[in-house]
Amino acid sequence: MASAKGIESKSELESGNIEFALVHQNKKAQVKEKIFITRLVTKEDIPALRKLEVEKWGVNGFTNENLESIIKLAPEYSWGYFDQSSGKALGSCFVMGKSKEKIINSKDWFETTDNGNATSHNKKSKTWFGMSLSSSHDDAVLAILVDVLTKVLKDGIKEVYLGAPISGFHKWSEKNPNKSVNDYIKLFKTFNNKNVHIDPLLAYYMQYGFKIVCVKENYFPYESAHNYGVIIKYKNPVWFLGPIMKLIPNNIFNKVMKKIASYYKT
């Protein structure tokens, strides 16, 4: 489960939601508008979220019981990206407050997340653990990350940790049987005059400022990673400005975040 995971009320969040329309038109039909929205999820969204979990993670996805527990215990830390016309969930992100010591010292994802129930979630913690980031739409991840980053900055969150499966390790290890996972996570390549990690998922997160902390064996059942997980973290360099950022109106803050997102999208 790839965890890339001052909004003081749901109404405030919705006022700053990322909404945009994709227009589909044919010669014989009128223009049809399709609206997508990012928002905090509720228990009414569980059926749609469960379908996304099954689609992306199969038997390892969050169960209905997991989703109900997370939404109940961490309602302001649970986001979804929805097709408003159908109600389909196209993306989701769930995080929990946790100390960095417990994140790093936990033997696997299940211990860190209380078997996916987030029962040890600490809303006062300035350290987050990204339990899951899932998407089935090209724009879902960036749209969700805009809202997540808004909360990170306004709440003065110091660090965000994820447990990322190294999806390219299986093929690489077949070609390099005498080398270890520690060799693999040190490998970078040059792309567009930049050093990027050879693992596609690590490369993706590193472009957003995440750095490798450690490797965990049998971290999460992910065959292409031989069940290894890499703990990565993002360190917020301006966490101490949280009280000031809370004073910025959400609509203005959201415009800035969308411009940042467009930079990564290009």
Q: What is the pLDDT of residue 116?
A: 97
How many domains, the chain? 1
CATH of the domain at 240: 3.40.630.30
**Dihedral angle over CA of 150, 151, 153, 155, nearest 10:** 160
Is residue 67, in this structure, part of any structural domain at all?
A: yes
pLDDT band at 22 (very low <50, low <70, confident <90, very high): very low
β-pair partners for 197: 188
Is residue 118, in this structure, part of any structural domain at all?
A: yes
Two tokens at 246? 């809370």
Is residue 87, in this structure, part of any structural domain at all?
A: yes
Q: What is the pLDDT of residue 24?
A: 43
Phi-psi region of 177 (alpha: psi -120 to 50; beta: other; left: phi over 0): alpha
Is residue 259, in this structure, part of any structural domain at all?
A: yes
pLDDT band at 122 (very low <50, low <70, confident <90, very high): very high
Q: What is the pLDDT of residue 16?
A: 43
Percent of the chain surpassing pLDDT 70: 86
Is residue 246, in this structure, part of any structural domain at all?
A: yes
Write down the mean pLDDT value for the chain.
87
Q: Higher pLDDT residue, 32 or 228? A: 228
Q: What is the pLDDT of residue 25?
A: 45
Q: Higher pLDDT residue, 209 or 68? A: 68
